[in-house]
Amino acid sequence: MKPVVLLIGRLPNVVADVAQQLGHLPIEWLGAHDKAEVIHQLESEPRISCVVMGAGLDDSVRGALIGVIASRRPDLCIHVKDRASGPEGLLPFAARVVRHELLERATE
């Protein structure tokens, strides 16, 4: 069974593009763009292994989402992308996170 990663970003097309470009990895990707979608994904998919959050959201929104995730799923690691790498940095960031957190650890 593939690990599930919740990918959170401001723009739906960026999240979908990242998931598509990383489709070769043995990961199931779920997307969310706001608090309601994050809550829905957390409540409907208990197999989520970690969260990757893009930098396009306001800091207040990112902070609120971290609080929501941590209160509902304290078992999850939340990986927050830097702003300096821009929108194009989400793809390599998400790839690094899943390779290190999920794929390499699965072979240890």
pLDDT in tens, 72-88: 999 999 999 999 998 88
State the CATH number of the domain containing residue 55.
3.40.50.2300
With a cut of 80, say whether residue 99 has pLDDT above it: yes
Q: Would residue 101 count as lying in a domain?
A: no
With a cut of 60, say whether residue 108 has pLDDT above it: no
With a cut of 90, say whether residue 106 has pLDDT above it: no
Tens digit of pLDDT for each residue in 12-52? 888 899 999 999 999 999 999 999 999 999 999 999 999 99
Distances (CA, A) of 4 to 28, 53, 76, 86, 101: 5, 14, 11, 24, 12
Residue 83 is predicted with a pLDDT of 93
Number of domains in the chain: 1
Q: Is the pTM of this model over 0.95?
A: no
